[in-house]
Amino acid sequence: MSNEIIGKIKETVELAEKEIKNIKNNDELEQWRIKYLGRSGFILSFTREISSMHDDLKPLAGKEINKLKKILTGLYEEKKKEIDLSYVINELGHKKEVLIYTYPGREPDFAYFHPITIITKSMINIFKKMGFGIWTGPEIETDYYNFSALNTPENHPARDMWDTFYLDYSKGILLRTHTSPIQIRTMERFKPPFRIIAVGKCFRKDAFDSSHSPVFHQMEGLMVGFDINFAHLKGALIYFLRELFGAEIKVRFLPAYFPFTEPSAEISISCVICKGKGCSTCGGTGWLEILGAGMIHPEVFKNIARKEPSYSPDKITGFAFGMGIERIAMLKYCINDIRHFYNNDIRFLTQFRLNLGDNNEILL
Ligand SMILES: [Zn+2]
């Protein structure tokens, strides 16, 4: 009886090996598997035969059946690999895509715009609609362009308004404290009339806390011509602020002092958080300070006129304004700590982008 079953097993292995050699695809392989390893296959029918054997013979027969099962399973797995591999190799030549379904999916990498880039693009787009050109300038400046040309000569008390990083104090080489030097350089280069926006990084010896950073971004505007007056300034800024924050906001102009403008104004908008009722963001006042502006001081024009005579203050007037881009972004997107912009925390940057929703005004 035992020899009989061993003989059958040997025959089965030979037959199975012979059959599997001719198998070309997964369907045929599945038929083969059912025939040998399935519920009514050879292995189980042998196992059933054991139960009718003499007890002395059962262990040996069981061992032989296990051996057979191992051989058949090995044959099956090897063939399966061979078929999958030949599928990939053959199909790659004909199809652009091959789905290897056993591989885990790969997350695509997305590039995100930084929130400062997004808000800067939005702001530029509004000024472009009003016909402003975009201009930049060097971050390392001279004392002359950063201060003197802007009516802030040496020992002028207004210089204390900006805590300056000097690269070489004796030569007056510094990191610009505002983007206003760009305005001077642009006026020296182009005759009036024109209107530009100046954008860039600025540097001040400020503490790095929730509302200050030693490096920040500014956007300034300059419009010069033959009959520019305060009404033009008001018109341009009110249009800009309502485009950016919504048509329903109120805009307030208060008198202020800057050495390079006269008269000067400090411009606030009604609080975007509490709609003017008073909250912690606006310090309970209902207003948010957002811009400094004014009519260009005749002394500034006199400085330009030394190099470019068409800027005589008798003939030319103009307005200028400036704002911190981080502050605008914080108000627009409800960000309460300026440090989030610089920490490069991917959780903040990606979350921020998702939160933008319909307000994502990237226009390239
Ligand atoms: Zn408020």
Please give the pLDDT value at position 110. Answer: 67
CB 265 within 8 A of CB 300: no
Q: Which residues are in the CB-under-5-Å shell of ion ligand 1? A: 271, 273-274, 279, 281-282
Please answer whether residues 226 and 355 qualify as being in contact, where contact means their C-beta atoms are separated by less than 8 angstroms: no
CA of 345 to the centre of ligand 1 (A): 28
Distance from residue 71's CA to the centre of ligand 1 (Å): 78
> 185 C-alpha to center of ligand 1: Å?
38
Q: Could you please report the per-residue DSSP string of 232-284?
A: HHHHHHHHHHHHHH-TT--EEEEEEEETTEEEEEEEEEE-TTTTTS--TTTTT
Distance in Å, CA 325 to ligand 1 centroid = 19
Q: How far apart are CA 293 and CA 52, in angstroms?
A: 104
The pLDDT value given to residue 47: 83
Give the up-direction half-sphere exposure of residue 80: CA atoms within 13 A in the CB hemisphere: 10
pLDDT in tens, 288-320: 999 999 999 999 999 999 999 999 999 999 999
CA 10 – ligand 1 centroid, Å: 89
Quick one: tokens of 156?
Answer: 């002028």
Residue 246 Cα to ligand 1 midpoint, Å, equals 15
Contact 363, 124 (CB under 8 A): no
What phi-psi label fits residue 253: left (phi over 0), alpha (psi between -120 and 50 degrees) or beta? beta
**Cα 327 to middle of ligand 1, angstroms:** 15
Residue 203 pairs in a beta bridge with: 215
Third-level CATH fold of 115-359? BirA Bifunctional Protein; domain 2 (3.30.930)
* Å from CA of 288 to ligand 1 middle: 8
Asked if 131 and 223 touch (Cβ cutoff 8 Å), the reply is no
**Two tokens at 125?**
């787009």
Q: What's the pLDDT at 361? A: 45
CA 348 to ligand 1 centroid distance, Å: 24
**pLDDT for res 219:** 97
- For the chain, domain boundaries: 2-92, 115-359
| Span from the CA of 281 to the centroid of ligand 1 (angstroms) | 5
CA of 270 to the centre of ligand 1 (A): 8
What residues of the chain score a pLDDT lower than 50? 354-364
Q: How far is the CA of 249 from the centre of ligand 1 (A)?
A: 12
Ligand 1 midpoint to CA 206 (Å): 25
| Res 356: pLDDT | 47
Q: How far is the CA of 209 from the centre of ligand 1 (A)?
A: 21
Q: Which residues pair with 122 in a beta bridge?
A: none
Q: Are 314 and 208 in contact (CB under 8 A)?
A: no
State the distance from the centre of ligand 1 to the C-alpha of 203, rounded, in angstroms: 29
Q: Tell me the CB-side half-sphere exposure of residue 143, using CA atoms within 13 A.
A: 13
Q: Which tokens belong to 220?
A: 């300034």
Distance 252 CA to ligand 1 centre (A): 15
